[in-house]
A = this chain, B = another copy of it.
Amino acid sequence: MKKKWFVALLLLTTIISAEAHFFTHNQPFQFASACLSLLFWAALLGKATESVAHYSGERLGGLLNATFGNAAELIIAIFLVKAGLFDMVKASITGSIIGNLLLVLGLSVFAGGLKFKIQQFNPLLAGHNASLMMLAVIALFIPAVFMHGLTRSEISMVSVVIAIVLIIGYFLWLYFSLVTHKEELGDKVDGMPDLDQHEEPDWSKGVSLLFLLIATVFVAIESEWLVHSVESVAKALGWSELFIGAFLIAIIGNAAEHSAAVFMAMKNRIGVAVEIAVGSSLQIALFVAPILVFVSLLFGNPMNIIFSNYEIAAIAVASLIASSISRDGSTNWYEGILLVLVYIILETVFFVV
């Protein structure tokens, strides 16, 4: 998108959503305008994070990208946690994970596959991604199986242990992939140099930091407005919290990454696209979800880590098919279709439930 248009739309939607929030009582309108505005602020936040990461040197930058790459989703979720909308938090986590693994990855693989017969990437990375995703699925699945008949404090204790295990797993993964085995996991399959080292950021260091700050503040503000109106909108439309969280909110937080991944795939950099899509899922499952458990403790209203059977089934199914397709380090258009079809099945059912 042209920069001018982006800035214009960013400002316009922000002003509209502010007016809607302060001067009207029309909650669907408040909700819709906050959603639109969030789309743009989340995109800016993502770009600013990348830019700051660029100036931070390789390792610190990798760490920044890996922990704040989903900052917008984290901020929205924190406001949902604050409002006690735990079901919607979990639905949005679920939606982000399946959206990344099925819709983003699927569209990328499909779009790339239309232009290139077979696209290849590092199978070692695919294998590790699959194993990590499995850790996440296990960590969410086990408590749901075992928790029937436990007391609240026992559930809370197990949730904290699992959250700690997931965060340890995530940071050791960063250490593994950014430090000890950086080279083995690189996207060297097609002989092209890494893009990241070539692209110069648009902004200076100072401007990047300023944008990071501004975008974070506005994502927070718009998130609060969105959360403020979400319940009454859900009621008015007759949509379930599950669907709003797993579809609408998940799409808003991830739209920028979605387009970036598809764009990369069409330039035959499927490895980068996979990294964006799967990496983002992992970040949400292994970092954002456990952080939210701790955040809920700070708010004095502990959220447990027990997802519903629906959500676990959806996450498990998404990660199984994504692993099955990516495990050999090669993709084609049909594999993209398969992922999108599974996404359609899951969202159809989420809509009906």
Contact = CB atoms under 8 A, between A and B. Distances in A.
Interface string A114-137: 000110000110011011101100
A158 interface: yes
A207 interface: no
A346 interface: yes
A168 interface: yes
Nearest to A309: B145
Nearest to A131: B324
A136 to B, nearest CB: 11
Interface residues of A, number: 61
A333 interface: yes
B341 A131 contact: no
Interface in A295-353: 309-310, 313-314, 317, 320-321, 323-325, 327-328, 330, 332-335, 337-338, 341-342, 344-346, 348-349, 352-353
A162 interface: yes
| Copies of this chain assembled into the complex | 3
Contact of A150 (B143, B180, B309, B352): B352
A162 B143 CA distance: 29
B157 A352 contact: yes
Interface of A: 117-118, 123-124, 127-128, 130-132, 134-135, 138-139, 141-143, 145-146, 150, 154, 157-158, 161-162, 165, 168-169, 172-173, 176, 180-181, 184, 309-310, 313-314, 317, 320-321, 323-325, 327-328, 330, 332-335, 337-338, 341-342, 344-346, 348-349, 352-353
